[in-house]
Structure formats: C-alpha cells, structure tokens
Amino acid sequence: MAGKWRKREGSRIETSDGTDGQGKEEQDLGLLEKIQPQGGITFRYDRYIVSGGGYETCIHIYELPQQVSDHWLSNVCSIKDTVASVDIATENILEVKKNLNKSMKEQNVRFHEAHDFGERLAAEQRLKEMEALYEEIVAMGEVIKILKIRIYVADRSFAALEEKVKGIMATLESNGYRPTIFLNEMQAEWRSIYQPYEEQQKEVFAVYGQPLQSLAVAGGNPFHFSSLEDPYGDYLGSTPCGGNVLYDEFIKTQTRLYYNSLVVGTMGSGKSTLLKKRFLARAIRGDYVRAFDITGEFTLLTKTLGGKVLKLDGSAGILNPLEILRSGETEGQSYMRHISKMSTIYRFLAGQAVQVEEILDFENILRELYESLDLSPRAVSGIEQQITGLPASRYPTFSVLLEFIRQRIQELQQRKYGKLEQALAEQHILQYDKIRRVLENIVRNYGDLFDGPTTIDNISDEQIVTFDMSSVKEMKAEIFDAQIFNMVSFCWGNCVTNGKIMKERYEAEEIDWEDIVRFLIIIDESHRWINTEKPHALDQILVYLREARKFFGGILLASQSIRDYVPEGSSAESINKIKTVFELTQYKFLFHQDSNVLPLIDTIFAGVLTESQKVRIPKLEIGENVLCIASDKNLEFKVYLTKEEERLFAGGA
C-alpha cells in the first residue's frame, strides 16, 4: 500500500488518504466522542431542543428594521446569555438587477394607477429608493449581501427558557426587528452553526436571507467595543458600548511615553469636571498637584483635601522672579533656564514690540548683576557653585536691578568717547533707558506682585497647592501673563526637585514604579498666555513639556476652544509652534466644540481623528468627549460623576 499508512488507536483506524483502507470514508470516533453533546440531544419537539444539559431554541430574525444605525448588529450580537450567528453571502448581481427591474415596473404601475394619495406617495417613495439602488449597482459597483441572523438561547428549565425568549423577542421587536421561532426546524437551525450559507440553502425548507447593501452590513460592525483599562487607572467613565475607562496619565508603555494632556471643551461641556477628577485622583494617591485656578472653583476641593490656596494678587506674599530656582539637572542648566525665563517675563512686561537688541542687553545686564553678587554657577575645582535653594535674601529684586541699570547708564554717560564710539554709546544708553523705564513701571506700579524677596510660604513640600488667579485676571494682560508664567516656573522648580529625588530612589531600587510620587501641573484657561500671539511663551512651555517626563511630571493644559490657541491672522511659524505643543501632549480630551472649529481641528490635529469622530465633536453632550491617545488609540466616553464629587466640584449650573 504505497503512499498509505495505518495507525490503530482504540477503535479508530486512520489512513493517509482519509479512508479506512477499503475505500470507505473514515470516522474519527474518538473525536466525535469528545465533541458530541454530552448526555445526548433530541430534535423531536417543534419549538425547542432537549439535551442532557437543558433546553435550547433558536430565534430567527426574518425581517430587519427599515433604517439601521451605526453598529446595529450589536443589537443582536450582544444579548446577554445568548450565542448569535450571522451568515453572510453575496447575491448574484444579475439576479438583483432583474428583480429590481420587475419591482420598479410594479411600483411604477402602482404609482400611475393609485386612486389614493397615500398609495401614490408610498409607491413613488419606493420607486425612488429602487432607482437609487439600481444606479449604485450599475454606476458604482454596489454589492448586495444576504444576511441570516440567528440567536441561540439555552437554560436549565423549559419555563426559564420561555421567559428568556419572551424578553429577547420583545426587545428585538421594540427595535424594529421581526424575530420568530421556525416550527419543526430545530435540527436545521442547530446544524446551521457548522454550515456555510450555501449548504444551509440546500435544506428542503431553507429560508432565503435578508438582502442588504454592503455599506449597511459594514456599518453594522458589532465588534466596535472600546475600553481603556490601565493597570493603575482611576475610573473616569464608560464608552458608548459599556466599556470601562480606567485612566492613568502616568502609565508608561511601548507607545505611551510621556504624561502631558490637553483638555478642550466649551462652557458647560464637562471640561472643568474632568480637571477636578484628575486633581482629586492624583491627590488621593499622594502625588504633588499644582492647579492654576482662574475662577476660584478649585478652592473647596483644595481645602477639603487639606491643601493650600494662594492668591496671586500679592496678599499671600511675593515670589521673587529674580530668585534662581532649580529647573534643570545641574546648576548651570538651572542658571541658563532662569535667564531664559527672565527674558520671557521681560517680554510680557514690556509688551509685544520688543527688539532683539533690547532683550540681549537685558540678559547681559542680568548676567552682570548676578556675577557681581557671586551668583554665577562657575566651576571651582570642577565643582559648580550652588546658586539654587539659597535663602531668599541672597537673591536680587527688581529694585536692585533697577538701581544697577541706573548706575550703568550713569557710567556710560560720564565716559569720554571718540566720534565712532559716541554713536554706539548713545545707542546703548537708549536701550538701557528702555529697560530702565520697564523696570520702574514694575517697581512703582506692581511692586506688591513682583518687587521684593520671596515671602510666600515655602510650598516645595506642600502636596496640594492651588494658585487663585481670580483677582489677577482683571489686570493688564501683560501683568497676568508675567505672574502666571512666574508661578508656572516656580512649580516647574518643585517638579524638578521632586523628580530628581524619585529618580535616584527608583534607580537605586528603593521604590517600585507604582510607588513613585508624581507631579501634576493643571493650567486652566491656558490659552490666555499660551497662544500663537506669544511665541516667547510657547518656546518656554515647550521646554517644560519636553522635559517633564524626566522628572515624573505631567502638564495638563485646558481651554474652552481650540480657536483660543490660534487667533485669526497667526503666522505660519507660530502655528507650527502651537502644533508642537499639542504634539507633546500624549492625551487630548476633546469635549463639545462648535462645528466651525472643525477646519481648525483638521489643521492642528492632522490625522489624529477619523472622519466619524470629527463629525461627532459638535454633537457631543455634557460629559461626552473623544480621548485621543497619541500613537495608541482614540475612544469616545462619558465622564462619570458621583454625588460626592458633584458636591465637591461645585461646577456651573
């Protein structure tokens, strides 16, 4: 027997050609024993099957609703304690066109011979639908699919089975489906699970499937379930299909690499609720939280959690902008970033029309002042001099800087110059005088905010701090911008300090990943100072966004509209910078936005949202949003709010 082999195992005989060696079809009795219905099965009853495990039946959907919505198949495939089967075949296109021709002729006759207006209208409507379908088949290659949908139900007792069937059929009928149980067809229905559509149609009493356009079948996709289940996540809400959203912005995976977020939503859409939920979630974990509150709505939550609320109108003390804070891994980095920070604050205070030469002169004057006070991080014997974390009295104030520049102007005026040097000296004096006038304005008019050694409480070790900006927001935009930027820089210094400690302990294996204390900075109404009209602020915030992950920090930016970040007439360079800001946010929560913002979303978030998600944004209800996780996935969900959170958050009515 060349090319054949035998193996005897119990009662089973196998050959390589699938026969028993005598030309008869082989049966694997051992396999059948394993897969048969244990306890036996009988199909003698007309409405149900009896097996050793209980009772079963099959609900067959013989007619679909006139109109179906997205993911409509989930209505039949997601019924609890059931098994659904959907058989799909392709209809013969020639047969479809032939039948359509017959039907259109019939509807045309009905339309012209109808004596009742209702009959005429119905015939006309049906005729138009058929014409549109025929056009799609001929011109666009539309394919017609055939669907057979069955739902299998089982239970231990017949009474319980009947109750289940009753409830399922009532639910289906309320959604426009026509379900039934085919009498005396239980064996055929049971076998259909294991047969393709063509085999099913060979049955004597086979039922023809429901014809449907391929687009409607594709739109019915029942496998659309979405969820987010981070191992250490907090419950934020649920997706439309009932999936959980367990969110942790500080998780690190192969695709989620940093911890910054963006939240955008119109008034009353649920944006502030989400901010407070993140505030609460990180605070109760023991992480550091810093929030910038424009309206004072974080006050109750902060005090309930035992945190501090600092008013930034000067009544709670001064944070000296000239104090060198730790903002980098070395003293040298901290010094350079401090000079850059002061340049940005100067731009805010001086207004937008600041020349590059003026900024360079300001930086040089500042450097000379620090060197005169021995606050330069120059290395001595290879070791940098400590210039951060010194007593507040060691750092100069704006009054000291003003006096220093007055002396410089006086020195320049008293020197004697040649003809060529005279012009340069006059130019320097003019630049210095511009700086002097800006500093005089700060000292005389806004000294309570900016001029003086740091007197606010030491909050470096304070876990929860909210900066109340409600009284500062009414001041000039330049003052508001400078003050909030000064405080954000201060928070960044706190973040770096904590991050370095955590990094050292984690690398020394003293603590596990989940025990690292993180640092979250929440900036509400961030568009007030982060937008395309203020590129100098964008440059500085980009540094913080890029490096926050090194220090286990995350920055959460929030605003009411994407348009707030990109005012009309913004330059291409500034738009690219704001794009980079958004690219550095791993998580984007998009609540309700007006439809006229959609083109801007296309520009700023190119390729982030699908077309259907984009269309959903203007239709989102309170609490609903689309969460876009960079390099991972997008999902829609609704924020869940408990009664206790509702009391604590006290949002707008």
- HEC-encoded secondary structure of 530-556: CCCCCHHHHHHHHHHHHHHHHHCEEEE
- CATH number (domain holding residue 368): 1.10.8.730
Judge if 204 and 330 occupy the same domain. no
pLDDT of residue 16: 45
Determine contact, residues 635/238, Cβ cutoff 8 Å: no
Tokens of 533: 């009209």
Distance CA(21)–CA(151), nearest Å, equals 42
Residue 517: pLDDT band with limits 50, 70, 90: very high
Q: How far is CA 78 from CA 87, 168, 177, 224, in A?
A: 16, 11, 15, 11
Judge if 212 and 339 occupy the same domain. no
User: Which is higher by pLDDT, 126 or 505?
Assistant: 505
Helices (H), 192-285: 197-200, 214-219, 271-285
With H, G, I as helix, E, B as strand and everything else as coil, classify residue 397: coil
pLDDT tens digits along 546-558? 999 999 999 999 9
Is residue 404 assigned to a domain?
yes
Distance CA(356)–CA(349), nearest Å, equals 15
Is residue 208 assigned to a domain?
yes
Which stretch of 156-170, 253-267, 368-382 has the lowest confidence by average pLDDT? 368-382
Judged against a pLDDT cut of 90, whether residue 652 lies above it is answered with: no
Judge if 87 and 207 occupy the same domain. yes
Is residue 644 assigned to a domain?
no
pLDDT of residue 5: 37
Interstrand relation of 464-468 and 308-311 (parallel, antiparallel or unpaired): parallel
Judge if 194 and 80 occupy the same domain. yes
Is residue 227 assigned to a domain?
no
Residue 14: pLDDT band with limits 50, 70, 90: very low
Amino acid found at 128: K
Is residue 348 assigned to a domain?
yes
Torsion over CA of 605, 608, 612 and 615, rounded to 10 degrees? -20
Q: Mean pLDDT, to the nearest integer, of 65-84?
A: 89
Is residue 381 assigned to a domain?
yes
Determine contact, residues 404/369, Cβ cutoff 8 Å: yes
pLDDT tens digits along 88-127? 998 888 887 888 888 888 888 888 888 888 888 888 888 8
Q: How far is CA 154 from CA 222, 249, 338, 362, in A?
A: 22, 43, 71, 81
pLDDT tens digits along 417-434? 777 788 788 888 888 999
Determine contact, residues 222/71, Cβ cutoff 8 Å: yes
Amino acid found at 562: I
pLDDT of residue 507: 95
Number of independent structural domains in the chain: 2
Task: Among 151, 184, 219, identify where a domain stops.
Answer: 219
Tokens of 364: 């040089």
Which stretch of 411-425, 517-531, 625-639 has the lowest confidence by average pLDDT? 411-425
Residue 153: pLDDT band with limits 50, 70, 90: very high
User: Which is higher by pLDDT, 147 or 138?
Assistant: 147
pLDDT of residue 8: 41
Q: Would you tell me how many other CB atoms lie within 10 Å of the CB of residue 160? A: 14
Residue 416: pLDDT band with limits 50, 70, 90: confident
pLDDT of residue 243: 87
**What does R_g of the chain's alpha carbons equal in angstroms?**
36
CB burial string 36-51: b at 16+ within 10 A, e below: eeeeebebeeebbbbb
List CB contacts of 279: < 8 A, sequence separation 6 or more.
289, 291, 298, 301, 520, 522
Q: Mean pLDDT, to the nearest integer, of 594-606?
A: 88
Distance CA(78)–CA(538), nearest Å, equals 48
Tokens of 640: 């869940």
pLDDT tens digits along 194-243? 999 999 998 888 888 888 888 888 888 887 778 999 999 999 999 988 88
Tokens of 430: 């003019």
pLDDT of residue 22: 58
Judged against a pLDDT cut of 70, whether residue 381 lies above it is answered with: no
Percent of the chain at pLDDT exceeding 70 = 95
Range of the domain at 349: 324-455
Judge if 76 and 215 occupy the same domain. yes
List CB contacts of 434: < 8 A, sequence separation 6 or more.
350, 358
With H, G, I as helix, E, B as strand and everything else as coil, classify residue 310: strand
Task: Among 400, 427, 455, identify where a domain stops.
Answer: 455
Is residue 430 assigned to a domain?
yes
Is residue 102 assigned to a domain?
yes
Task: Among 167, 188, 219, identify where a domain stops.
Answer: 219
pLDDT tens digits along 279-335? 999 999 999 999 999 888 999 999 999 999 999 888 888 899 999 988 888 889 999
Judged against a pLDDT cut of 60, whether residue 18 lies above it is answered with: no
pLDDT of residue 405: 94
Distance CA(457)–CA(316), nearest Å, equals 8
